[in-house]
Amino acid sequence: MRGQTSKLYAIVHCKCPHCRRGDIFTGSMYGWNIQHTKEICGHCAQRIEIEPGYFYAAMYVSYAMNVIEMLLASLITYLIFGPLTDATFWHYLIVIFTGCFVLYPFNYRYSRIILLHVLSPNIKYKPYYDK
């Protein structure tokens, strides 16, 4: 008999919020296999996209993540190159846009995971899938 799977484990490893066992995505986050969101969980048959257009709300989560990442990139650029001036403008621009580009797959995946695990009250964890 397995122990109960923690919510943090399920979020970090992109597992189904209903059973916390099945994978939500096919393909890797970074690599040649493009990641896709599965339609149903392979372990408990929970429908992942609960209704048509459900993941449009993930764009708002992704936007918030992107703003935080841009602010952190700006802070790091400030600490390295100093305040924003005409001479450092391109440093800021390159660092911020590179960060957005590199973190896009991460934001895609985890905005959906946060939406499913934290912001969806209709999907409840069923511990009997851990048996």
Q: Which tens digits make up the pLDDT trace of 60-116? A: 999 999 999 999 999 999 999 999 999 999 999 999 999 999 999 999 999 999 999
Q: Which two tokens stand for residue 24?
A: 């939500």
Mean pLDDT estimate for the chain:
91
Task: Output Rg (C-alpha) for the chain, integer angstroms.
Answer: 18
Cα–Cα distance for residue pair 33/27, rounded to 1 Å: 5
Pair 22, 113: CB distance under 8 Å: no
Pair 21, 130: CB distance under 8 Å: yes
Q: In this structure, what is the dihedral angle of CA atoms 102, 40, 23, 120, given to the nearest 10 degrees?
A: 70
Q: Which two tokens stand for residue 84?
A: 């924003």
Question: What pTM, to 2 d.p., does this model score?
Answer: 0.86
- The one-letter amino acid at 33: N
Q: Which tens digits make up the pLDDT trace of 20-54? A: 999 999 988 888 888 899 999 999 999 998 888 88
Cα–Cα distance for residue pair 111/131, rounded to 1 Å: 29
